Amino acid sequence: MKRLWRGGRLVSLQGESGWGLIEDGALLTDGARILWVGLSSGLPPEAAGVEVHELGGALVTPGLVDCHTHLVYAGDRCQEFELRLHGASYAEIAQAGGGIRSTVIATRAATEAQLLAAAVPRARALIAEGVTTVEIKSGYGLSAESEARMLRVARSLALQGLEVRTTYLGAHAVPPEFEGRSDDYVDAVCDWLPGLHAEGLVDAVDAFCEHIAFSPAQVMRVFEAARQLGLPVKLHAEQLSDQGGSQLAAAFNALSCDHLEYLSDAGVSALATAGSVAVLLPGAYYALRETRLPPVGALRSAGVPIAIATDHNPGSSPTLSPLLMLNMACVLFRLTPEEALRGMTVNAARALGLTDRGRLAAGQRADFCVWDASHPRELTAYFGRNPLRQRVFEGNA
């Protein structure tokens, strides 16, 4: 079914820079794809007689892509929030059995139905701010069965009306039963992957490379298991210290490296050479009161594409507001408004290995947002305000 959306201010993001603004623009969709984009005054013949939606001068952007979330879990970690206020660090809480491990205990105890019931409102919150594609990681199960359960729940969130990409993050933390045997646990993580992949649950493989998590040598084994199955990799890298994880990930042509506050110049060069996306996560930076900034200037100079995501998780980034992340990316990381919006559209799609979304152009998915705003910079300047008028997903309003 074809639909015409006309009379809007389109933020096409076509080309490598600039907003790609089309004043008094129109979009013709055919089912779940964009068939044509241009001026309302120059419609193609295919637009004749189709269903028309008047945009009334509203702003239209590509649908938002949240390319790094841990949306499926049970329990909460608000007690840790209080502990941190009393001076405990993220690493100290993790070493005391809190952090990721406490979410693992709650997630293992939850049924698939309970996990889904908890995750649906989170997905709806992202949708309410314009998200049309979300990446969701496992990593709170840390057993073959519970990792599969998390990924199945993540997949089923697509029924809420958004596209879900799933990432296997078995190498997120060492579970209690493997205490002191992290190399054995890495063997297990690698052993579980083919089964999860065979069930169609894995779009990419991720790991947490950090002194409180896994070493580069251990991550390399996980990445080799992914490579054997032809699966792309990404990495939680250089968040709390410089482990050289980015160079390792780049050697595996990683889709992205994420966090990166402690990224070195050598890491920047490695990402640039590999074409990996730098995914910056201002929510975690803010919530952990990190003071070391990711090297935005060096990434920019080296031409590394930058993406922005919520990193939604119950501990270090309990936010469900992609719009707030756009604002924080500008205020905290000094991204330009255009860099921030590209970071949650076209570059976020690239961080997931996707080229069919993130721009308003013929052939792209018909996923877009209609905002009560006159310029795209408004989406980044305000915070705590949601001007979304309408979200169109696969051509359906």
Q: Which is nearer to Zn ion, 280 or 370 (CB)?
A: 280
Place of tokens 């139905």: 113
Residue number of the CB closest to Zn ion reads: 311
Least distance from Zn ion to the Cβ atom of residue 248, Å: 17
Residue 21: CB minimum distance to Zn ion, A: 33
Between 62 and 139, CB nearer to Zn ion: 139
Toward Zn ion, which CB reaches closer, 34 or 219?
Answer: 219
**How far is 214 from 93, CA to CA, in rounded Å?**
17
Residues near 49 by beta carbon (within 8 Å), at least 6 away in sequence: none
Which H or E run includes 34? strand 33-39
Closest approach of Zn ion to the CB of residue 251, in Å: 21
From the CB of 68, what's the least distance to Zn ion, in Å? 6
- CA separation (Å) from 387 to 80, 337, 346? 32, 16, 21
The neighbour count for residue 96, using CB atoms within 10 Å, is: 13
Residues 6 or more apart whose Cβ sits within 8 Å of residue 58: 8, 9, 370, 371, 372, 373, 389
Interacting positions 161-190 with Zn ion (CB under 5 A): none
Q: How far is the CB of 236 from Zn ion (least distance, A)?
A: 5
| Residues 237-276 interacting with Zn ion (rule: CB under 5 A) | none
Is 333:293 a contact under the CB 8 Å cutoff? yes
Cβ closer to Zn ion: 66 or 311? 311
Give the count of residues interacting with Zn ion (CB under 5 A). Answer: 1
The residue (of 9 and 70) whose beta carbon lies closer to Zn ion is 70
Phi, psi of 39 (to 5 degrees): -85, 140
| 129 vs 311, beta carbon nearer Zn ion | 311
Q: For residues 273-312, which are near Zn ion according to CB under 5 A? A: 311
Beta-bridged to residue 214, according to DSSP, are 209
The two three-digit tokens of residue 289, written as one number: 């009161």
- Minimum CB–partner distance for residue 390 and Zn ion (Å): 30
Chain contacts with Zn ion (rule: CB under 5 A)? 311
